[in-house]
Structure formats: structure tokens, C-alpha cells
Amino acid sequence: MGTEGTVGPVDASVVPRFAGIATFARLPRLDEVGRADVAVVGVPFDSGVSYRPGARFGPAHVREASRLLRPYNPAQDVFPFGDQQVADAGDIAVNPFDIGEAVRQVEEGARALAGSADRLLAIGGDHTIALPLLRAVHAKHGPVAVLHFDAHLDTWDTYFGAPTTHGTPFRRASEEGLIDLTASMHVGIRGPLYDKGDLEDDARLGFAIVTSEYLEEHGVGAAIERVLARIGDAPLYISIDIDVLDPAHAPGTGTPEAGGLTSRELLRILRALADRRIVGADIVEVAPAYDHAQLTAVAASHVAYELLSAMSPAHRGRDEA
């Protein structure tokens, strides 16, 4: 069921889920369909990390865990792979030794894919990749609302004098005019900061915050209301650091912090975004060396599934009806 002409996942009743090539959700490759509404692309880069490395292996790990995803999403009442053409675009190959060149390569790769896909869902990789992805999105849509799920602000200035790392992408994006300063927000922020001034800088750079503590005290519904009120009708880019989840739900990440969201809470918030104009997204910081029983990869694959579901044109069809 779905849009006529779309090519969906491999039939699990014909080829077992544990067999075959592990594209995301066992979807066709982009070169097999020619053009897609949404392309899932890996960005295996982690030279921007400040603590645990290993997120360069994240795209393959998430793809492997995504084998169990199924065609119909009852929570959103959509067929994310049938209502739209979704394809796996492989990986953007980048220089692991030169951050500046890698950032340029990610932007170039994302811009090139824009000719074959209306939207990208990137799987990292560390959070450095959000900056070039936002540059590519900005070239098409202008300043966008950024909804950033993370334990950390990622609006710091430099690390060891380096201006481009996984802790600085949204500061650079704000300085470059890539984001809508009136409609951007962090969700899930928690844990120690370097200084109280970090919060003042963050507000000046254009972000409001729903902390993990706020969500615990007021509930998911209240958090959703604040998010929707903040982002409004602006074109929306969603960036998800998997460490927004508590380490109990996502141990395989580079900078874990106690007191995070549950996977159920995160999925519920993402489902509430289905009527918004999502123009792109990323899921980053999955580091398989620290994962156990694919806990983090399973969470990340379901986050991707809910994002793809929220992008489904079936939501817009219901609104028009």
C-alpha cells in the first residue's frame, strides 16, 4: 500500500531479515530508483569528538539494527516507505584526518544528493556533521528552525582552539545565519556546564531550551507544547544526538550523561512533529564500541523510522481533507 510506483523494503517473508545487504530498513539503493523523496545517507566521520571516538562506525551499526523495521507505522498511521519513495544513498566518504576538508566534503555530498532526493536523513558520525548539512539545507531553504535533541548545548566556541568540532556546530551555524533565531530550540539538555555564561551565550545565539529536568517535572505533553509554539511554521531541521537518551537506553555514545530521556519520550515528541515542514534531519553520535545488545542502534533506527514517518505526505493529505 502507498504511492504508486514506490519501491519498498525487501519482503521479509521471502528473504529473512538477517539475510541480504543491510541498507537502511532493507530499502532500495538510491541508484536503483533514480530519485527519492527522502534519501538516508551515512556520514562515517568522528574526527571532531572530544571524548570517546567510534561514531564513524555508527551508520553501519544503525543500518544493521534497522533490519527489523516494518512497513506500517500504527502510531502515526502511515506507510513511511510506501507513501513516499525512501532510498539508501550509501555513505558520504570524507577525510578522517582533516576536519576542514571533511566538512567541505559533507556539504558537497549533501548538495549533490539534493539533485536526486528532496530531503536527506543523515546518520552520523559525530555532531560536527550538522554544520555542513545545515549549510546545504540553508542553500535551498534559507534560515531554518533547528530542533536539537541533545544532552549538550553544542554552542561552545572552540576546543583546544579548534572552531569546528562536535561541540560547536550550532554556534557556527548561528554566526553564519543558517538558523532562524526566533524558532530554534534544544530539548533534553542536562548535566554540568563549563560556566553559567554558557546558557547566556546559547540564548544570544538563538536557542530556547527544554531541559531534561523540565520534562521530568512537567511531562512530555508540556514539553511538546513548548516545542511546537517555538518552531511555529518555519522550515524545520531536526538534529538528534543519541545521547539525549539516558545511558540506560543508549549506552553506545561518546559523551553519556545521566538523567536523560527514555526512548519512549523521544519517539512521542517526534510523532508530534508530523504536521510541521521538516526539510532535513540527522541522527548522530552512535558509537557501537560502547553499545550493548544493539540498544543504542535499535533506538536510533526507530528514531529514524519516526522521522521518516513524520515526513510522510499522508499527514499533509489528512490536513487537506
2: pLDDT confidence band, cut at 50, 70 and 90? very low
Confidence category of residue 4, pLDDT binned at 50, 70, 90: low
Kindly give the pairing relationship between strand 117-124 and strand 184-189.
Answer: unpaired
Confidence band for 1, pLDDT divided at 50, 70 and 90: very low
Question: Pick from 247, 239, 251: which is nearest to 127 by CA?
Answer: 239
Q: What percent of the chain has pLDDT over 70?
A: 97
Strands (E), 170-285: 184-189, 207-211, 236-241, 278-284
Confidence of residue 321 (pLDDT cuts 50, 70, 90): very low
Q: Tell me: the pLDDT tens digits for 200-240? A: 999 999 999 999 999 999 999 999 999 999 999 999 999 99
Q: What angle do helix axes 295-310 and 58-65 make, rounded to 10 degrees?
A: 80
Write the pLDDT tens digit of every residue in 164-203. Answer: 999 999 999 999 999 999 999 999 999 999 999 999 999 9
Confidence of residue 3 (pLDDT cuts 50, 70, 90): low
C-alpha cell at 263: 526512548
Question: E-assigned strands of 190-244?
Answer: 207-211, 236-241
What is the set of domains in the chain, with CATH numbers?
24-316 (3.40.800.10)
Dihedral over Cα of 130, 131, 135, 136: its sign: negative
- Ranges 19-23, 198-202, 270-274: which has the least confidence: 19-23
pTM (global) more than 0.85: yes
Q: Is the pLDDT of residue 156 over 60?
A: yes
Per-residue pLDDT tens digits for 84-130: 999 999 999 999 999 999 999 999 999 999 999 999 999 999 999 99
Look over the chain and give the mean of its residue pLDDT values, rounded to a whole number.
96
pLDDT score recorded for residue 192: 96
> What pLDDT was estimated at residue 317?
67
